[in-house]
Amino acid sequence: MSDPEKQSHLPPDVATDLPAPLADAIRNGSIDAKILEHSHDADDALQAFQSHPGTVIHIDEATNKRLLRIIDWHLIPVMCVVYGLNYLDKTTISYASVMGIQKDIGLVGTDYQWLGSMFYFGYIAWEYPTNRLLQRLPIGKYSAACIIAWGLVLACFAAVENFAGAVAIRFMLGVCEAAVTPGFALITSQWYTKKEQGLRTGIWFSFNGWAQIFGGLVAYGIARGTANHQTSLAGWKIVFLLTGLLTVAVGIIFLFTIPDNQLNARWLSKEDRVLAVERIRVNQQGVGNKHFKWYQLREALLDPITWAFVAYALIADIPNGGISNFFSQLITSFGYTAEQSLLYGTPGGAVEVVTLLAGGYLGDRYGNRIAFAAIGLVLSIIGMSLIVGLPLENNSGRLGGYYLTQASAMPFVAFLSLISSNIAGYTKKTTVAALYLIGYCVGNIIGPQTFRPKDAPRYVPAEVTIICCWGICLCIMAFIYIWCRMQNAKKARLRADPAYTKLENQEWLDLTDKENPEFVYTL
């Protein structure tokens, strides 16, 4: 039965501008007036079903597996390589720090710490604008342009001659790389079901670890080669040129491989494009919406889960910012040479790869990403405690502690995948992703500042700070877990109401997770 009061909140001609399912809801009053008022710009996915009115599309298990194989083969390899380069390009400064860059460009005092932080000033300055552009522009093409630009900027580092030039390059590198993580999170939510997103996010993020292995070996080889043979360029300049030009080449491949969504994927047939959209209907999120919606921005800013994500990113990335910029110096503090630090840092990458893949797989398999991610944080706390507590002469034990700290990426990646899975409404999703990564930036800006020159070579105050930050993060994880369970119970009660009616194609109306009673939060 219609509700006159609910209909009275709508402009009289609004139904003429709405998709058919939503227009029907206006006439019978079966959907909340606020949703009707703000969600008339439906998701792009609705285009795929305009030629199938009233048709129910069924995908059998064999077809679903075939589509998943095609999607994985075309998306995951190039995303993995790009994300590996994303990590490698940020941390080349750490390799360069033990290859002579500080002397060559005249770094003194806290100059090196500020170079570590400056990347994140660029990142934070451009994070929200780049998320708006990811929503407004074709996501595949815009992401490719950013990748190519950051490769060119990184290659320019080889021409740096002083601190001012290095600051400018690091800032612009942050600007160019700001689109990568939120862009990849959006692409993952576009193409994969919620049960598939945790593992896929873990796979492409794990290439941070592969990059650490690759970068350490390459930097070690270049350091040894330039030490034994005269070269026209310093070893650290060769590292920047190599990684920068490699990034440009991969960015060009990305441009021709990654589509903007299922509807313009050249490697899918016309029929498979519709099926690829249909298979993610269960997400209740669609594939993208280019219209900015103020009410979704407000909802994001007032949602407690948003600020829990932001608090986690900020606090967890104080340790990340310190360790990623100072891991070479940490390892030398264990009694190893500068060259050995490049080589001995590589197993840490292997730990990150294994823990991310295991956490992603087990979290999706058992439907609890948060619980398995917490294991990584506990391992990291144990690792840093070993570094602080073991005697100075126990070099191998303290090195083993450093390797355990590399499991700390598990919760960050789990929450990144949960933003993909648990935040719906395209404006709201891009807003939360931007705020999450702004928190990430602030944490990474603070992190290098905890490693003060006067505390070298052990950096005990920084190490104790890291342990405290991770302890607080465990509490934030518990809050997010409890909150999601409470919201799921509330929605279940709403769906059980006899008066509740589900709309046809409700999944494609660009509703937020709070608006949509069918939306279920992933744990």
| CATH assignment at residue 158 | 1.20.1250.20
The two structure tokens encoding residue 82? 């790009």
The number of CA neighbours under 13 Å toward the Cβ of 340 is 11
Domain count, the chain: 1
Give buried/exposed letters for 282-295 (b at 16+ CB in 10 A, else e).
ebbbbbbbebebeb
**Owner of token pair 């950051």:** 150
Cα angle 402, 379, 443; round to 5: 70
Position 40 in a domain:
no
Residue 381 phi/psi, 5° resolution?
-65, -40
Position 4 in a domain:
no
Position 53 in a domain:
no
Cβ atoms of 443 and 315 within 8 Å: the answer is yes
Give the whole-angstrom CA distance, residue 39 versus residue 45: 14
Residue numbers of the chain with a pLDDT score lower than 70: 1-57, 98, 222-223, 225-232, 286-288, 325, 327-328, 338, 503-508
Write down the pTM of the prediction: 0.79
Closest CA to 218 of 241, 248, 186, 187: 241
The amino acid at residue 365 is R
Give the whole-angstrom CA distance, residue 487 versus residue 155: 48
Position 126 in a domain:
yes
The two structure tokens encoding residue 222? 């270049």
Closest CA to 408 of 343, 505, 474: 474
Give the whole-angstrom CA distance, residue 153 versus residue 146: 10
> What DSSP state is assigned to residue 497?
S
Is the Cα dihedral 34, 36, 40, 43 positive or negative?
A: positive
Distances (CA, A) of 404 to 13, 295, 431, 470: 61, 43, 33, 13
Residue 4, pLDDT score: 38
The two structure tokens encoding residue 314? 């900020």
> What DSSP state is assigned to residue 140?
H
Q: How many residues does the chain have?
A: 523
Q: What is the dihedral of CA 306, 309, 314, 319, to 10 degrees?
A: 180
Residue 143, pLDDT score: 95
- The 10 Å Cβ neighbour count of residue 496 is 8
Residue 299, pLDDT score: 92
Q: Which residue range is the domain that position 174 belongs to?
A: 61-495
Residue 44, pLDDT score: 60
Cα angle 360, 189, 428; round to 5: 120
**Owner of token pair 């303290």:** 398
Position 523 in a domain:
no
| Residues contacting 302, CB < 8 A, separation 6+ | none
> What DSSP state is assigned to residue 425?
S
Position 77 in a domain:
yes
Closest CA to 300 of 424, 448, 486, 151: 424
Give the whole-angstrom CA distance, residue 458 versus residue 70: 49
Residue 171, pLDDT score: 93
Position 520 in a domain:
no
The two structure tokens encoding residue 291? 């219209």
Position 148 in a domain:
yes
| Residues contacting 270, CB < 8 A, separation 6+ | none
Give the whole-angstrom CA distance, residue 287 versus residue 430: 13
